[in-house]
Amino acid sequence: MRITTQMMMQASRESGLPLVQSSLLDALSKKQGGSNSLFDALNHSKNDVQQVSEKQQGYQKLEAAAEDLALSSAALFADGEDTLFAKAEESGSTEDILQAVQTMVESYNKALKLLKDADGSLNAFYRKELIGAAGDNAELLDTVGITQNKDGSLTVDTKKLESADLETLKKVFGSEADFTDITSYIGLKVAENAAANASSITSQYNAKGMAYNDNFESTKYDYFS
């Protein structure tokens, strides 16, 4: 005999027991505190993943820019026989030095912008130090066509930079130059801090996700309590 809906409803009325017609999804939503709470929770989780991904990508970009700044500055600041300035003295060409300067300025500007968008007092401190390093050496930098803008970023007059002689370039960027010494050090510290922040964000989110999952596992069968 096929049991019809009418028969179920009749039996329910006669027994005085309610006929449960809500779906499992309704029960889960009720358990979570509202008709849309399960969807809200899923959407919230999705938003969390997106925010974590965006923050992580931001710190990874900052790390890359800061590493480029540290490496290009260190290459200019280095002293010895196998360095940019030693090779330039031997070859008579400043091409590699000019390329390193352009890379350094580009990385400086990129790191400065990313530091502005990054959270944390330490990032704000590093940004201030970079701006201060350029400001303290503004007169020297200007001799090779590099000027500081109001926002702290640097602009290069390419023609003036390319016309600078080797001795002037060495004075501004070489092994005794304060600017490249400071920017190489700050670049390294910014990169280390950015890497630590990216790792911390991921760890915190994973811990939160595991806690949420543990809570869900413990209650997923308790639909009607």
CB atoms within 10 A of CB 141: 21
Question: What residues does each domain of the chain span?
Answer: 59-206
0.85 surpassed by pTM? no
pLDDT of residue 25 exceeding 50, the answer is: no
SS3 19: coil
By residue count, the chain amounts to 225
Q: What region, left, alpha or beta, does residue 97 occupy, with left being phi > 0 and alpha being psi -120 to 50 degrees?
A: alpha
Q: What is the pLDDT of residues 172-223, one digit of tens each?
A: 999 999 999 999 999 999 999 999 988 887 676 555 454 434 443 444 444 3
* Phi, psi angle pair for 143, to nearest 5°: -65, -20
